[in-house]
């Protein structure tokens, strides 16, 4: 009797929640192992575990070149989300390991968090809460969202979802996108503009770009200085696209009125991080995609992807990052 193909579910919170669609893996004859720890696997744990598995449902754990070279049975890393910067894609491709994403699963959830950041910052929620608690019962003028200007950097699924929400506030929506979907631009009624214009004219600047050599460090001392004095900055993209020291300087000087940040250079965030000292900064532990609907859609997408590979099929072009891996494996 052939040995069962094994699937590692590295997303630790799955073990504590009811995800019945994982039963589809067992029903197809696959053996499922859950991460029953309290967080992501360490690089050492992944390197030790991975040689035995046909597929992983991956969280934010790191798949290094050294780890992937030991993954003798691995055929697919199915990301519980759309980011894959924790995976050495070049090595995965050479090893014939497909890197798959759950495209279309969590963009609405991230857009919701983005608008929540906007509302929380404009309305000084932390500041006013602290004043009420301290007994300082006196209101102060706050910022408008209605009819303000929002700048969206990156008009992918998340950027489009943010733009739809902003139109409901009658906001002027400026967008910078290097490869714009012109149909979406027309339907959303947004204004395409160079990055410098988007940065300079926005009351709220929000990033929705991947971490690439072109985007890393795109928000730095120079670009923060180009923002309006009193503007708000939001990052629900990737920590690497922002120079955090420059952000702290812009907040300390009062040039920025506040920030909402879901992603960081170091995760978990150090307990002595300077961003923790501001009452006009809203922080979230890289949780933008963590809602019941987003979890369900991401999980279903990962399961369907793995089942397709188990049948010797492709899950579809939109879900595979490195199509060359399929060719590399077929050529063996």
CB neighbour list of residue 116: distance below 8 Å, 6 or more residues apart: 260
Residue 185 φ/ψ, nearest 5 degrees? -55, -45
What value does the mean pLDDT take over residues 85-111? 95
* Average pLDDT of the chain to the nearest whole number: 94
Helices (H), 12-78: 23-27, 43-49, 65-69
8 A C-beta contact, residue 233 and residue 282: no
User: How does DSSP classify residue 318?
Assistant: G
240-254 core/surface letters (b: 16 or more CB in 10 A; e: else): bbbbbebbbbbbeee
CA angle, 308 then 28 then 78, to 5°: 40
Instruction: Express as a percent the part of the chain with pLDDT over 70.
Output: 98
Q: Three-state SS for 101? A: coil
Q: Which domains, and CATH codes, for the chain? A: 6-105+291-330 (3.40.50.720), 107-283 (3.40.50.720)
Tokens found for residue 94: 């050479």
List pLDDT tens digits, range 255-269: 999 999 999 999 889
Report the predicted TM-score, pTM, of the whole model to 2 decimal places.
0.89
Closest CA to 192 of 155, 219, 223: 155
d(CA 76, CA 315): 11
The pLDDT of residue 152 is 98
The predicted structure's pLDDT at residue 2 = 59
Q: What integer pLDDT is reported at residue 199 of this predicted model?
A: 98
Residues 35 and 45: their CA atoms lie apart, in Å, by 11
328/73: higher pLDDT: 73
Q: Is the pLDDT of residue 327 over 90?
A: no
What does DSSP assign to residue 28? T
Q: What is the pLDDT of residue 328?
A: 63
Give catalytic residue positions.
Answer: 238, 267, 286
pLDDT at site 1: 45
Burial of 53 (0-12, 13-18, 19+ CB in 10 A): buried
**CA-CA distance, 285 to 22, in Å (whole number)?**
26
In the 8-state DSSP scheme, what is residue 82?
Answer: S
d(CA 228, CA 82) in angstroms, rounded, equals 31
Rounded Cα–Cα distance for residues 236 and 112 (Å): 11
Phi/psi at 22 (5° precision): -65, -20
Q: How confident is the model at residue 331 (pLDDT cuts 50, 70, 90)?
A: very low
Asked if the model's pLDDT at residue 111 lies above 90, the reply is yes
pLDDT of residue 254: 98
Can you read off the two tokens belonging to residue 64?
Answer: 């290094």
Q: State the average pLDDT over residues 294-316.
A: 93
Is residue 294 a contact partner of residue 105, using CB atoms and an 8 Å limit? yes
- The pLDDT assigned to 214 comes to 94
């Amino acid at each position: 009797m052939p040995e069962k193909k094994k699937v590692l579910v590295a997303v630790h919170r799955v073990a504590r929640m009811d995800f019945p669609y994982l039963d589809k893996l067992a029903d197809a004859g696959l053996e499922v192992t859950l991460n029953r720890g309290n967080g992501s696997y360490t690089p050492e744990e992944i390197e030790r575990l991975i040689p035995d598995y046909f597929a992983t449902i991956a969280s934010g754990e790191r798949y290094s070149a050294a780890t992937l070279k030991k993954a003798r049975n691995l055929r697919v890393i199915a990301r519980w989300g759309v980011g894959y910067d924790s995976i050495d894609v070049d090595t995965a491709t050479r090893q014939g390991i497909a890197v798959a994403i759950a495209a279309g699963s969590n963009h609405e959830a991230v857009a919701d968090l983005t608008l929540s950041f906007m509302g929380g910052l404009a309305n000084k929620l932390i500041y006013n809460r602290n004043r009420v608690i301290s007994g300082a019962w006196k209101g102060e003028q706050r910022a408008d969202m209605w009819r303000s200007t929002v700048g969206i950097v990156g008009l992918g699924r998340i950027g489009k979802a943010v733009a739809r929400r902003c139109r409901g506030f009658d906001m002027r929506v400026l967008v910078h996108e290097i490869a714009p979907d012109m149909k979406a631009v027309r339907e959303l009624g947004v204004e395409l503009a160079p990055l410098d214009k988007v940065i300079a004219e926005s009351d709220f600047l929000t990033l929705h770009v991947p971490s690439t050599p072109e985007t890393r460090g795109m928000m730095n001392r120079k670009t923060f200085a180009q923002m309006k004095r009193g503007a708000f900055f939001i990052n629900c993209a990737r920590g690497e696209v922002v120079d955090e020291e420059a952000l702290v300087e812009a907040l300390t000087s009062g040039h920025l009125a506040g920030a909402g940040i879901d992603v960081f250079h170091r995760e978990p965030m150090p307990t002595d991080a300077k961003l923790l000292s501001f009452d006009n900064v809203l922080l979230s532990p890289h949780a933008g995609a963590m809602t019941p609907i987003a979890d369900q859609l991401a999980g279903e997408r990962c399961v369907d992807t793995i089942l397709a590979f188990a049948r010797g099929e492709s899950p579809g072009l939109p879900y595979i990052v490195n199509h060359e891996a399929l060719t590399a494996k077929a050529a063996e």
